[in-house]
Amino acid sequence: MKKNNKNALIHEIIDFVKVFAISAIVVLLFANFIAHPVTVLGHSMDPTLADGEYGFTNIIQTKLSDPQRNDIVVVTMVDPQTGEKSEWVKRIIGMPNDTIECINDEIYVNGELLDESAYIDQEHKNECLQKYGYFNKTVQKSSENNGLQVIADWGPITLKDNEYFVMGDNRVVSKDSRDPTVGPITKDQIYGKGVFVLYPFSKFGNK
């Protein structure tokens, strides 16, 4: 009787190990080939994605189709000084061979005003304009005023065949392709497409 109980216990342990191993493999496959966990750090995508929000980004979608304008993407960035990698969440504004520029604080693509009403919160934009006096412009060093910083339009910037221009939705705090130290990104830097927010529950859903 004891032997039978011992054998049953051994079989239960083996079954548990099998289930655990299979589950671990499924999780690894999911995390490395289908979707990958991502945490939003900072306020560059406010109010679309807030600091601390947690979810998954779609990895496999980047292999099946090309990124499109307005897509939210997770981008792999490498610090040129330390070599450390980090993941930035941004939005694609410019596609390969596009010419991007900021005129009178508005974004133009190939000479046409870009309609951003689908993802730029107008109330948030107005608040930024009232508080800072600009939204899409950048803070630059002036060559005419002893290197003092000025708020200015930028561009035109013409992208190459494999380049994309990315920006955060919260333009006044976002470090993105407007910054000469960042510049346009290439397709192989796009790690994931979209962010499905799991937490907080009030923001649950696909972005």
Position 51 scores a pLDDT of 97
Say whether 44 is catalytic: yes
Side-chain-side CA neighbours of 130 within 13 Å: the count stands at: 6
What is the per-residue pLDDT across 69-78, written as a single tens digit (0 to 9) for each? 999 999 999 8
Position 32 scores a pLDDT of 53
Domain 2-206 has CATH 3.40.630.30: no
pTM tops 0.75: yes
Position 29 scores a pLDDT of 47
**DSSP-assigned letter for residue 32:** I
**DSSP-assigned letter for residue 187:** G
Position 100 scores a pLDDT of 98
What is the per-residue pLDDT across 122-145, written as a single tens digit (0 to 9) for each? 999 999 999 999 999 998 876 665
Give the start-to-end residue ranges of the domains of the chain.
2-206
| Active-site choice (6, 44, 125, 202) | 44
Q: For the chain, which residues score pLDDT lower than 50?
A: 1, 26, 29
Structural tokens at position 50: 């807030």
Position 188 scores a pLDDT of 94
Position 34 scores a pLDDT of 79
| Active-site choice (23, 65, 86, 90) | 90
Residue ranges in the chain assigned as alpha helix (H): 2-29, 60-64, 122-132
Say whether 90 is catalytic: yes
